[in-house]
């Protein structure tokens, strides 16, 4: 009877758990945030004529969440949506970069389930440092399948870049203020691989429902990343499509609104983290270009780990003085 009740309870809360999984991509344990994110994803995907991306995301979220139940992972993680967010991104990435074939969908299901397993293993290791694997299980799992797609004809990498040596384009960008606002919003939308400024508005609204602080840092981080890549004359095409914003936004939310207390030191720490994320992404873009691989959210993971590992000494409160009076040895 107890097991039957558990199954009924899980089935009843399954849609809510999946929506929380979508929200957890940006560290928000809120089903309404997930619903607004999903609405923005559907809007942007169909606006681009890529509705399959939205359906892939939904499928990936469902599969990865179900994997958590099947493997009987800790229920708290499932209830908070932490089983679903890596699979959610896997589901968005596969139809974004690969052709829409039956074999692509089978691979999407396999990779979504695998990402939940990888997350569990990585978190078991990182938990001793009070650290999370973030979206790296999605990055690692997706890399395996994207590289395999170069050799497997039944899931062709139709929309992936061709392997080439990285060459900058001089950063020639002719944009007015309205264009810059569009690029800024696209930087937020690209977290889910959606190239739509309207989606960026949905995402900011979803963040604000759960955490105004997270929404503020998302807005600041995307703007700061845009400024940095323009000043350093990054690739104009990438700037116009918000491709230097999404990892910086995730870093900003992680450092500024999730893992660190709200203080002036946190603001400095977060701004530095966002700036470094842009340079780390440029470096990773150059590194993976000869393989034709996208960086995905890898720059966010690397930058956030680098800035969080020293957090425990940098932000740790000073020990209180010992109130016990010291006796003289005289």
On whether residue 246 sits in a domain, the answer given is yes
* C-beta of residue 186 within 8 angstroms of C-beta of residue 245: yes
Same domain, 13 and 148: yes
Q: Helices marked H in the chain — which ranges? A: 2-23, 31-47, 51-70, 75-79, 85-97, 102-126, 136-149, 177-189, 197-210, 212-231, 236-240, 246-257, 264-288, 298-308, 311-314
Whole-angstrom distance, CA of residue 179 vs CA of residue 139: 30
129-149 CB burial, b ≥16 within 10 A, e <16 = eebbbbbbbbbbbbbebbeeb
Same domain, 152 and 94: yes
Whole-angstrom distance, CA of residue 303 vs CA of residue 275: 10
Whole-angstrom distance, CA of residue 37 vs CA of residue 46: 14
For residue 224, give its domain range. Answer: 164-312
Same domain, 123 and 34: yes
* pLDDT over 60 (residue 20): yes
On whether residue 323 sits in a domain, the answer given is no
Same domain, 202 and 130: no
* pLDDT over 80 (residue 318): no
Give the least confident one: 41-50, 109-118, 311-320. 311-320
Same domain, 186 and 62: no
- Lookup result for tokens 């400095």: 268
If we measure between CA atoms, which residue out of 192, 237, 236 comes closest to residue 218?
A: 192
CA atoms within 13 A on the CB side of 18: 18
* C-beta of residue 268 within 8 angstroms of C-beta of residue 211: no
Identify the pLDDT of residue 172. Answer: 67
Tell me the whole-structure pTM to 2 decimals.
0.91
Return the structure tokens found at 238: 């990438």
* C-beta of residue 116 within 8 angstroms of C-beta of residue 110: no
Among 117, 135, 160, the domain-final residue is 160
Return the structure tokens found at 245: 């914003």
Same domain, 202 and 98: no
Same domain, 23 and 150: yes
What is the percentage of the chain residues whose pLDDT exceeds 70?
89
Domain count, the chain: 2
Give the least confident one: 66-75, 146-155, 225-234. 66-75
Identify the pLDDT of residue 170. Answer: 65
On whether residue 328 sits in a domain, the answer given is no
Angle at CA 80, nearest 5°, toward 110 and 190? 60
Whole-angstrom distance, CA of residue 175 vs CA of residue 157: 32
Same domain, 84 and 200: no
On whether residue 186 sits in a domain, the answer given is yes
Residues 6 or more apart whose Cβ sits within 8 Å of residue 4: none
On whether residue 330 sits in a domain, the answer given is no
On whether residue 329 sits in a domain, the answer given is no
* pLDDT over 80 (residue 100): yes
What is the domain-level CATH number for residue 194? 1.10.3430.10
Q: What is the pLDDT of residues 170-205, one digit of tens each?
A: 666 778 999 999 999 999 999 999 999 999 999 999
Return the structure tokens found at 255: 């450092």
Among 160, 190, 208, the domain-final residue is 160
- 119-140 average pLDDT score: 91
If we measure between CA atoms, which residue out of 223, 256, 246 comes closest to residue 299?
A: 246
Whole-angstrom distance, CA of residue 4 vs CA of residue 308: 42
Q: What is the pLDDT of residues 38-53, one digit of tens each?
A: 999 999 999 999 999 9
Confidence of residue 309 (pLDDT cuts 50, 70, 90): confident
Same domain, 113 and 192: no
Same domain, 133 and 168: no
On whether residue 155 sits in a domain, the answer given is yes
Same domain, 146 and 262: no
Among 99, 129, 160, the domain-final residue is 160
On whether residue 317 sits in a domain, the answer given is no
- 147-164 average pLDDT score: 88
Same domain, 156 and 12: yes
């Amino acid at each position: 009877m107890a097991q039957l009740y558990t199954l009924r309870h899980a089935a009843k809360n399954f849609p809510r758990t999946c929506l929380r999984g979508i929200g957890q991509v940006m560290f928000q344990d809120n089903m309404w945030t997930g619903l607004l994110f999903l609405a923005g994803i559907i809007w942007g995907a169909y606006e681009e004529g890529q509705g399959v991306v939205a359906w892939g995301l939904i499928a990936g979220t469902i599969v990865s969440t179900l994997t958590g139940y099947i493997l009987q992972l800790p229920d708290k993680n499932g209830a908070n949506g932490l089983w679903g967010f890596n699979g959610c991104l896997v589901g968005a990435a596969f139809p974004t970069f690969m052709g829409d074939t039956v074999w692509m969908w089978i691979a999407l299901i396999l990779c979504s389930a695998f990402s939940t397993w990888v997350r569990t293993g990585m978190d078991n290791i990182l938990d001793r440092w009070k650290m999370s694997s973030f979206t790296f299980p999605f990055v690692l799992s997706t890399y395996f399948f994207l590289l395999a797609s170069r050799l497997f004809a039944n899931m062709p990498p139709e929309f992936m870049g061709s392997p080439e040596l990285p060459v900058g384009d001089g950063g020639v960008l002719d944009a007015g203020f309205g264009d810059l606002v569009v690029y800024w919003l696209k930087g937020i939308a690209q977290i889910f691989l959606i190239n739509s400024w309207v989606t960026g508005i949905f995402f900011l609204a979803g963040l604000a429902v759960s955490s105004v602080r997270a929404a503020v840092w998302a807005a600041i981080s995307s703007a700061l990343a845009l400024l940095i890549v323009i000043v350093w004359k990054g690739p104009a095409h990438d700037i116009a499509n918000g491709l230097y914003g999404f990892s910086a936004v995730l870093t900003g939310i992680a450092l500024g609104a999730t893992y660190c207390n709200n203080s002036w030191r946190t603001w400095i720490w977060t701004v530095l983290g966002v700036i470094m994320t842009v340079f780390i992404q440029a470096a990773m873009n150059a590194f993976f270009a000869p393989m034709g691989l996208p960086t995905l959210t890898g720059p966010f993971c690397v930058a956030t780990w680098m800035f969080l590992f020293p957090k425990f000494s940098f932000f740790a409160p000073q020990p209180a003085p010992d109130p016990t009076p010291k006796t003289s040895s005289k």
